[in-house]
């Protein structure tokens, strides 16, 4: 899922203070799972904005709504009846959600309320871990389902660097060494021989380095 964090209220206020009616729109998918932009957080941010404006004796109209998914037109259209009555949409979606809203409501300013951070997993409630960079050539099968591109700070594909100490990364002590995880996992599985297989250097042209990616599938089109 996409993991994000809510921005500081001061930054959000700087972006929306010029408007007198604000539609706060959450997304109850990925960013709900990471407790940043779901229904709860939409209510929280709307209430915080009301309090913030009330403190400054200002009185913008603030309406809140939450979409099941903010990156798909079928869902986005469900706020169509609210949009004309507001000068701006404050989105608690990820960057994709914000841009999808901007595409659909092309005459409306869309302001992000979140900082979109990474593709990751809920390791446990309250802890979200980045574990995929979307490089476009998944090689997890070679590495015991531990991604060297993401979990190794240096994106090494052929073993740990000299900075791996006691299972920790030299970049920061709180980062587990990705290669330590790969070795231990393959050892547990009895599949250390996987590492004898040659894995060619990563072709970064399939990652974002090759420009914005797009998939077109005729069988899926309406």
Partner 1 sequence: MPGLSLVAIPCSGKLEAHHLLKTLAAGAEGVLILACAENACQYMEGSKRSHKRTDYARAWLEKLGIETGRLRFVHLAPMDRDGLEAALKEFAIKLETFGTTPTIAQSQAR
> Binder to partner 1 among 31, 62, 110, 152 (CB under 8 A)?
62
CB atoms within 10 A of CB 165: 12
Check binding of 8 to partner 1 (CB under 8 A): yes
How many whole angstroms separate alpha carbon 203 and alpha carbon 218?
26
Q: Which window, 56-64, 91-99, 102-110, 214-222, contacts partner 1 (CB under 8 A)?
A: 56-64
> Binder to partner 1 among 50, 108, 155, 194 (CB under 8 A)?
50
Closest to partner 1 by CB, 5 vs 170, is: 5
| Beta strands at 2-6 and 114-124: parallel, antiparallel or unpaired | antiparallel
Check binding of 28 to partner 1 (CB under 8 A): no
Closest to partner 1 by CB, 73 vs 85, is: 85
Closest to partner 1 by CB, 23 vs 76, is: 23
Q: Phi/psi of residue 141, each to 5°?
A: -60, -30
Question: Residue 145 Cβ, how far from partner 1 at the closest point, in Å?
Answer: 31
Q: Supply the DSSP symbol for 166.
A: T
Q: Looking at the chain, how many residues does it have?
A: 222
Number of shown-chain residues binding partner 1 (CB under 8 A):
23
3 state DSSP class of 141: helix
Check binding of 51 to partner 1 (CB under 8 A): yes
Q: Which window, 5-13, 134-142, 153-161, 170-178, contacts partner 1 (CB under 8 A)?
A: 5-13
Strand-pair partners of 110 = 89
> Binder to partner 1 among 9, 82, 96, 202 (CB under 8 A)?
9
Question: Residue 50 Cβ, how far from partner 1 at the closest point, in Å?
Answer: 4
> Binder to partner 1 among 14, 61, 80, 199 (CB under 8 A)?
61
> Binder to partner 1 among 18, 55, 214, 221 (CB under 8 A)?
55
CA dihedral for 50, 52, 55, 58, sign (positive or negative): negative
Give 40-48's long-range contacts (Cβ < 8 A, gap of 24+).
41/6, 41/92, 42/66, 42/92, 45/6, 45/12, 45/90, 45/92, 45/113, 48/9
As given in the structure block, the two tokens for residue 198 are 């040659």
Using an 8 Å Cβ cutoff, are 43 and 50 in contact?
Answer: no
Check binding of 53 to partner 1 (CB under 8 A): yes
Check binding of 65 to partner 1 (CB under 8 A): no
Rounded (10°) angle between helices 39-55 and 9-16: 70
Residues near partner 1, by CB under 8 A: 8-10, 40-41, 43-44, 46-48, 50-55, 57, 59-64
């Amino acid at each position: 899922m996409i993991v994000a964090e809510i921005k500081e209220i001061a930054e959000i206020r700087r972006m929306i203070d010029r408007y007198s009616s604000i539609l706060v729109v959450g997304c109850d998918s990925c960013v709900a799972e990471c407790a940043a932009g779901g229904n709860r957080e939409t209510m929280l941010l709307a209430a915080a904005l009301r309090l913030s404006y009330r403190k400054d004796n200002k009185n913008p109209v603030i309406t809140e709504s939450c979409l099941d998914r903010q990156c798909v037109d079928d869902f986005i259209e469900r706020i169509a009846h609210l949009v004309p009555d507001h000068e701006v949409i404050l989105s608690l979606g990820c960057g994709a959600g914000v841009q999808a809203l901007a595409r659909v409501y092309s005459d409306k300013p869309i302001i992000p309320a979140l900082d979109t951070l990474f593709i990751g997993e809920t390791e446990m409630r309250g802890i979200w871990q980045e574990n995929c960079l979307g490089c476009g050539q998944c090689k997890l099968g070679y590495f015991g389902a531990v991604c060297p591109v993401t979990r190794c700070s240096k994106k090494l594909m052929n073993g740990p660097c000299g900075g791996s100490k006691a299972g920790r990364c030299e970049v920061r002590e709180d980062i587990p060494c990705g290669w330590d995880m790969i070795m231990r996992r393959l050892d547990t599985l009895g599949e250390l021989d996987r590492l004898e297989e040659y894995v060619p250097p990563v072709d970064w042209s399939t990652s974002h380095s090759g420009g914005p990616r797009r998939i077109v599938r005729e069988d899926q089109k309406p």
